[in-house]
Structure 1
Amino acid sequence: MYIVGLTGGIATGKSTVSAMLAELGAYIIDTDKIAHNLVLPGQPAFHAVVAHFGGGIVRSDGNLNREVLGEIIFKNPEERTCLERITHPFIEEQVNEDIKKGEELGYKLVVVDVPLLFEVGWQNRVDEVWVVYVDQKVQISRLIARNQLTYEQAQVRINAQLHVKEKAKQADVVIDNTLDTENTKKQVVSAWQDVCNRAQKLIVEKV
């Protein structure tokens, strides 16, 4: 199994690239979706998160108030680290299960979408890293529009992650999503064809 780690900064368009890869036939493991499901009511991670952060992060309907939790962790690095310590073991376990599932289905190449790939050291768990990049002005503008944040709130969330330029420096493949969707798609198609060739070559060499 050849594993690609897909990452990028917040609001750089990582989900867009992931969707394009899925259209091309990639087997996608989305750790954001995994994390979302892990903190639904009744899940072990939900109870652990509420035990640490308190009942104030729970809505009246019993679900997690993600907006309140987001404000807490983006303003306080220690609390963000604590949340990661609670959730990451659960996420890692599910990713491993999904990789095995992909192998059972006959896939030779899997894309693991990990927003904080470098921050949690997952670059050492994949065969290559793809980073989705945009200019920071574009990143801030998109984040404000998408999440209805103030400029200051958007800046705090961006600064909570490793700068996307630093991520790009450590990448094997950089997808520049600053321009239009068509431009991005051309890059994704080209990169996908290349990685399929690399993966096939590696698999043949191992055999």
Structure 2
Amino acid sequence: MILGLAGKACSGKNSASRFLEERGFLSLDVDKLGHEALELRRDAVIESFGNQVANDDGTVNRKALGEIVFGDRKRMKELESITHPAVFEMVQSFLEENKGRNLVINAAILGPAGLDRLCDAVLWVEAPLIHRIIRAFKRDKNKISHIFSRIRLQRHLTVQHFFSGVDIYMVRNRGSLSDLKKQVDMFLSDYENF
């Protein structure tokens, strides 16, 4: 089974991914691949966004790049057009290398990058906005303005943005981790009975 795991920032995707790993799934964190994709396509990134996004050693300055794209949907789309193809290729390689195993593609960009087309099902993790803001503040230690910029950019991410040929299931992360774990277990139980 290839399970896509998606949701907005700080909705609980990583916690759900850990619970799935406890159930024998092998998980791929696409956010980390995004960092690799930046370096693989760094020449194109620097060409598009300028030398202010280049560190002295030639690597991409993710903080400087984030300041440009997190407040500007058009610039974010430009960055995605550079990095998403590389991410897609890396995910395909992961799936090929692990054929026959239960796999999780943990990605906020699951739909926008077309990764949902590679999945048997998608598990969408939803959480109230206030919970997401508090988690982001605690986890990332970012300024509140940066958190709101990220949230604003993701406001368009919904379950309607997925490929229509994939089954979509939703868990609502409104309480404790044990509550989220129960919902993930219920999903697995229901899905296996199909």
TM-score for both structures, normalised by structure 1: 0.81
The reply to whether residue 136 of structure 1 matches residue 132 of structure 2 is no
* Equivalent position of 1:152 in the other structure: 145
User: Which stretches in structure 1 are left out of the alignment for 5+ residues?
Assistant: 199-207
Whole-angstrom CA distance in 2 between matches of 1:92 and 1:121: 8
Whole-angstrom CA distance in 2 between matches of 1:119 and 1:185: 26
User: Which stretches in structure 2 are left out of the alignment for 5+ residues?
Assistant: none
The reply to whether residue 32 of structure 1 matches residue 21 of structure 2 is no
Structure 1 vs Structure 2 CA RMSD: 2.3
The reply to whether residue 179 of structure 1 matches residue 175 of structure 2 is yes
Identical amino acids, percent of aligned pairs: 29
The reply to whether residue 167 of structure 1 matches residue 155 of structure 2 is no
TM-score for both structures, normalised by structure 2: 0.85
Query: How has the CA–CA distance of structure 1 residues 169 and 79 changed in structure 2, closer, same or farther, with 3 Å as cutoff?
Result: closer
Amino acid in the other structure paired with 1:154: I
Whether contact under 8 Å (2:42, 2:59) holds in the other structure is no
Amino acid in the other structure paired with 1:135: P
Whether contact under 8 Å (1:116, 1:161) holds in the other structure is no
Residue pairs, 1:96-135, within 5 angstroms: 96-103=92-99, 106-107=100-101, 109-135=102-128
Query: How has the CA–CA distance of structure 1 residues 177 and 167 changed in structure 2, closer, same or farther, with 3 Å as cutoff?
Result: same
Whole-angstrom CA distance in 2 between matches of 1:146 and 1:14: 13
Residue pairs, 1:9-24, within 5 angstroms: 9-24=8-23
Cα displacement string for residues 148-185 of structure 1 (whole angstroms, at most 9, x for unaligned residues)? 33333322211101456x43897722222221111111
Return the index of the structure with the highest Cα Rg: 1
* Equivalent position of 1:81 in the other structure: 77
How many pairs were matched up? 190
Query: How has the CA–CA distance of structure 1 residues 4 and 10 changed in structure 2, closer, same or farther, with 3 Å as cutoff?
Result: same
Whether contact under 8 Å (2:29, 2:106) holds in the other structure is yes
